[in-house]
Structure 1
Amino acid sequence: MNQQFHAFSFQVIFQCELLKSYTQISMGNQIIKDHKQSILFISRPNCSVCHGLLPQVKDLMEDYPAVKLGHVNADEVQEIAGSFTIFTVPVILVFVEGQEYVREARIVHMDLFNQKINKIYKNLIG
């Protein structure tokens, strides 16, 4: 199976921790590659929807400790748009075993998003 990973700098969000910044390009590949399930939250600083949604996603992820959550500022990492075909923000990309599995953009219904994550999580983690 040929897996394509995208290189970019990003921040990883750990439960109950502040954002940790990474500047190594290879870290973007690693979060997707090294974890059965990972989520990238892509936003911009001037996006009010992004600022309202990110805390909700962080709170939701507390129920899924095995899921690794990364945050990408699309203004700082402009190549993210081309790498993941991003046309708007916020975008939530869910990866399962290195492959994009779910994509939510702009207006995200958290109840439905939670159902999708829960289904994936139960199938992978048990």
Structure 2
Amino acid sequence: MFDIPTAKATLEVLVVQTDWYAKKDTGEVFASLQGFSPIPAGSKERPNARGFEFTGYACDPAILEEIDFARGPVKMKFETAVRPTRDQFGRIENKQVIVSVVRDEPAPRHSASRQSSTQTAAPAVPTADSSKGA
């Protein structure tokens, strides 16, 4: 009947910290990360602010396993979705939550070489057909 789109977005963050805790009574795991990001120009909330700020994001616990700080802060791209989340006080709110890591993989080189060899072979076929008709 209706094709309702999901509220997803891509977010790029310089990740500087991760954290998680488990709620004692339910065992539910809450995970978060903090990133260093530029303050948006023309922000209505802080019109005079310039520079950079730390921003916290809720995330799926599995995301933390994919972040490696071996060489310091990590610039990563994430997919986010709006989800109803429960905070440690039991309140439910719709929030942007990081749900997966986006990996920018370059296109395989062998497929490009196949296309170029196919394109060079294609003109030879019509030339052969045109010589038969003459």
Say whether the fold is shared (TM-score over 0.5): no
Q: Which has the higher strand share?
A: 2
Q: Which protein has the larger Cα radius of gyration, Structure 1 or Structure 2?
A: 2
Shorter-chain TM range is: under 0.3
More helix as a share of residues? 1
TM-score, normalised via structure 2 length: 0.25
Higher relative contact order (CA 8 A, sep 6+): 1
